[in-house]
Structure 1
Amino acid sequence: MALHNWWLFVVAVFLLSATPGPNMLHVLSRSVELGYRRSVAAMAGCLTALLCLLAASVAGLSTLLHAMPGLFTILRYAGAAYLLYLGYRAWRAPVEVAAAVEGTHGLSAPHVPARTVFRTGFTISISNPKAILFAAAFLPQFIDAGRPQLPQFAILVATFAVIEGLWYNIYALGGRSIAASLTRAPVKRLFNRLTGTVFAGFGLALLANR
């Protein structure tokens, strides 16, 4: 893989990762709800799912999708349904006691097991059809077929993980800043409903795309 191809990949992934999507919104909302430190499990879940998809790309994900064109449609509907479910859950989330991050006005974040936080992040990420397309169609474009492919995949996947993780942390830190403003129930309710609306919007957009 030529150096200029790697730089093109870096720029493309940096811009793609920066764009708000289900993963970034989930990390942001988890940071608001649980605090930055505990949102790390959500980041880990999202990133682990993406790395699984990239590993599947190495194993021939694009070939599988071409051989079974209906599979992507099934995944698209499943991903959209899950995003709509998250939107409904965020819209209906209770706000009697405001959630806060560590060190904010003495309030404590609700107890959610780390494995649950990880699992939700993983499910959101693994069911995102755009992430599947990224792994199956976008990543292979930067592979030089005339050179050993496995080292190239390793470099690209490692590069992706670093950039994606960087943006997760940026969004999570933003969530920690937002949390200080959400100590009153009406403001918290508004945030929950905005978050729910955006999640539902992502789900409807997936259903509308062909």
Structure 2
Amino acid sequence: MVPLHEWLLFVGAALLITLSPGPNMIYLLSRSLCQGRRAGVISLFGVITAFFVHIFATALGLTALFMAVPLAYDVLRWAGAAYLLYLAWQALRPGGRSPFEARELPRDPPGRLFVMGFVTNLLNPKIAVFYLSIFPQFVSPDHGSVFGQSIVLGLTQLAISFGFNLTIVLSAGALARWFGRHPRWLAIQQYVMGCVLAGLAVRLAVEQRRAG
């Protein structure tokens, strides 16, 4: 299975991706502010359900890919590094969008809330690219079943995302007000995140797959 030090590094990468602004965070924050915590939680369950689709699709796809195209790892490694650099630039560039910048949304019934959360995450380009380009960096045929490793990593990422987004949903109003009163802390958070993402991108770009 995945070595502990690789798993811990993956936890850090998954946390950084979760903290970076994206459609899921913006939607859940906006929904919670506009319609309340209950609506936010229902939407979150839709988001989590879509994660299972991403996880199993990636696990099956990586298993086939690593078996059929051994050089695919290098392609995905560079794609992952490029994506992390893009996220770093999004955090560091002047005028970067705050993850706590909510938008107005109409009130929807529970069924539509779940479906909208599901669709938002299923079509989320940030999550799709994470699973396709960064996720494979931590999977190796040398460590056993690629499918099993992918499931473990996927469930790890899901748990991190669920915990963070549940916090966002339950404390949306307080977080938005606090960051509104303390914009400097938001700028610091974005700067630190951008630097760490850039460092992780370099690490992925220069790392070579270890022989088994």
TM, length-normalised to structure 2: 0.59
Offset at 1:134?
1.7
What CA deviation, in whole Å up to 9, does each residue of 1:97-143 have, x standing for no partner?
9653xxxxxxx614799369712221122111x535527554517xx
Cross-structure match for 2:85: 84
Cross-structure match for 1:168: 161
Amino acid at match of 2:186: K
CA distance in 2, matches of 1:174, 1:88: 26
1:76–1:127 CA contact under 8 A, matched in 2: yes
Identity of aligned residues (%): 18
TM, length-normalised to structure 1: 0.60
Cα distance change on mapping 1:179 and 1:191 into 2, 3 Å: farther
What CA deviation, in whole Å up to 9, does each residue of 1:163-186 have, x standing for no partner?
542222123345666945422322
What CA deviation, in whole Å up to 9, does each residue of 1:81-103 have, x standing for no partner?
111011011111526x9653xxx
Cross-structure match for 1:5: none
How many residues in Structure 1 have an aligned counterpart in Structure 2?
Answer: 175
Cα distance change on mapping 1:79 and 1:162 into 2, 3 Å: closer
2:197 to 172, 196, 199: 199
1:126 to 125, 132, 145: 132
The aligned runs of 1:58-137 (5 Å cut-off) are: 58-59=63-64, 61-66=65-70, 69=71, 71-92=72-93, 94=95, 100=100, 109-110=102-103, 114=120, 118-128=124-134, 130-131=135-136, 133-134=138-139, 136-137=141-142
Offset at 1:58?
4.3
RMSD across aligned positions (CA): 4.2
Cross-structure match for 2:15: 24
CA distance in 2, matches of 1:73, 1:11: 20
2:85–2:197 CA contact under 8 A, matched in 1: yes
CA distance in 1, matches of 2:26, 2:201: 22
Offset at 1:158?
6.4
What CA deviation, in whole Å up to 9, does each residue of 1:32-67 have, x standing for no partner?
6552847778766766444322112443x332233x
The aligned runs of 1:134-173 (5 Å cut-off) are: 134=139, 136-138=141-143, 140=145, 161-173=154-166
Cα distance change on mapping 1:135 and 1:56 into 2, 3 Å: farther
Cross-structure match for 1:145: none
Amino acid at match of 2:83: Y
Amino acid at match of 1:79: G
2:179–2:186 CA contact under 8 A, matched in 1: yes
* 2:179 alignment partner, SS class: coil
Cα distance change on mapping 1:93 and 1:116 into 2, 3 Å: farther
Cross-structure match for 1:105: none
Cross-structure match for 1:185: 183
CA distance in 2, matches of 1:208, 1:48: 31
Offset at 1:195?
1.3
Cα distance change on mapping 1:195 and 1:54 into 2, 3 Å: same
CA distance in 2, matches of 1:32, 1:76: 26
